[in-house]
Amino acid sequence: MEKPNMKKPAVKKLWLMVSMALGAAFAQADTLEISIEIPRIDVAEYHRPYVAIWLQQQSNVTNLAVWYDVGMKEGKGQEWLKDMRQWWRRSGRALEFPIDGVTAATRAPGIHTLTFDSADKPLSELPPGDYQLVVEAAREVGGREMVSIPFSWPLSEAQTLEASGETELGRVGLQLKP
């Protein structure tokens, strides 16, 4: 899209300003990198867990991800959403499913990483304050477990926080990247 009559030095200067502005914006961006370990469980009948990941400030819930059997016919997979009891109580029961950008299929055992940036929703709309990152997992013919990690928003310093589940969740990591 280069126009032959454009003055090159001006273009360069403009780009320099834009990239400086962008650089500044990026420097201010706060990023949450969340890693969730779904443990491999050696049982005869294994089903991948339903997992809800949210930020909580008192009674305010910001959903980050909900993994459930989204693919089942006629929304049948929603029948077990209530088994993530605390999430269901605090948020899930008031929602319509599926939720764009939040609900997704269940995940296999292993470590799953999610990254959220303050430039995008939902973090761009997150009011400052003290939060809990909460991860709740419930497994068909298995157990239920909830793990939470406190942090403050917006971020002040780079930090790696972690908590660990004992049965349905392995290590949950929260990397704060101001």
Site for another protein (CB under 8 A): how many residues?
Answer: 15
Query: Which lies closer to another protein via its Cβ, residue 61 or residue 126?
Result: 61
Q: Are 50 and 68 in contact (CB under 8 A)?
A: yes
Q: Which two tokens stand for residue 135?
A: 């991860």
**Min separation Cβ 140 and another protein, Å:** 14
How many CB atoms neighbour CB 85 within 10 A?
13
Query: Which lies closer to another protein via its Cβ, residue 126 or residue 137?
Result: 137
* Cβ neighbours for 172, distance < 8 A, ≥ 6 positions apart: 34, 35, 36, 37, 133, 135, 147, 149, 162, 163, 164, 165
**Min separation Cβ 128 and another protein, Å:** 28
Specify the stretch interacting with another protein by CB under 8 A; choose among 81-89, 100-108, 126-134, 166-174: 81-89
Q: Are strands 103-104 and 159-164 parallel, antiparallel or unpaired?
A: unpaired
CA–CA distances in Å: residue 31 to residues 12, 16, 17, 87, 123? 30, 25, 24, 23, 9
- Binding flags for another protein, 94-133, as an x/- string (CB under 8 A): x---------------------------------------
- Residues from 49 through 78 that contact another protein (CB under 8 A): 74-76, 78
**Min separation Cβ 93 and another protein, Å:** 5
What is the helix (H) or strand (E) element at residue 56, kind and residue range?
A: strand 50-57
Chain centroid, CA 146 distance in Å? 15
Specify the stretch interacting with another protein by CB under 8 A; choose among 54-62, 85-93, 107-115, 164-172: 85-93
**Min separation Cβ 83 and another protein, Å:** 8
Residue for token digits 């990198």?
33
Q: Which of 12, 13, 40, 89 binds another protein (CB under 8 A)?
A: 89
Write out the residues near another protein by the rule CB under 8 A: 74-76, 78-82, 85-86, 88-89, 92-94
